[in-house]
Amino acid sequence: MKHQFLPHYFKYIGLTLYLIVGFLPSAQAFINGFYGRPEETQTLGIPLIFFSHTFQILQYLGILLYALAKDKVFDEFMVKVRLESMYIVFFMTLIFIFIRIIIDQNWHMSASYLLEAQVVLFLVLNKIRKQLITS
């Protein structure tokens, strides 16, 4: 079975898009939380368009581009490492949700935050596993 991935340069495009689009709202939220201000307070003078759902979708698109891009060295073994990382992330997510429901039955989490956490966890886990195996 042949896997279709994007060219390697999409890693740079995706990471840049994710960081640029995600940095401004994150900085705004951090500053508001640090000073105990309401969430809607604008302290950096950032236009409200950066907090819209369109930019949230762009951020997810950036991380998706990064995750779907090929590595410089790409062979069957790397595909196996990538699939194993997805498998581990899936079960870690299930265990996390199970434990959270046991602790607090009224707990709610946005699907977008869970998706972003899964993708970031996959990227970190995949990178660590590749470095451990190739070294």
**pTM of the predicted structure, to 2 decimals:** 0.64
> Long-range CB contacts (< 8 A, 24+ apart) of 72-80?
72/8, 74/5, 77/133, 78/130, 79/3
Please report, in tens digits, the pLDDT of each residue of the chain (135 residues total): 466 678 888 888 998 888 888 777 777 777 777 777 776 666 556 666 666 677 778 888 888 888 788 877 777 777 788 888 888 888 988 898 888 888 888 877 777 778 778 878 888 888 888 888 877
Q: Which burial class, exposed, middle or buried, applies to 15 when counting CB atoms under 10 A from its CB (0-12, 13-18, 19+)?
A: middle
What burial class does residue 132 get, using C-beta atoms within 10 Å of its C-beta: 0-12 exposed, 13-18 middle, 19+ buried?
exposed
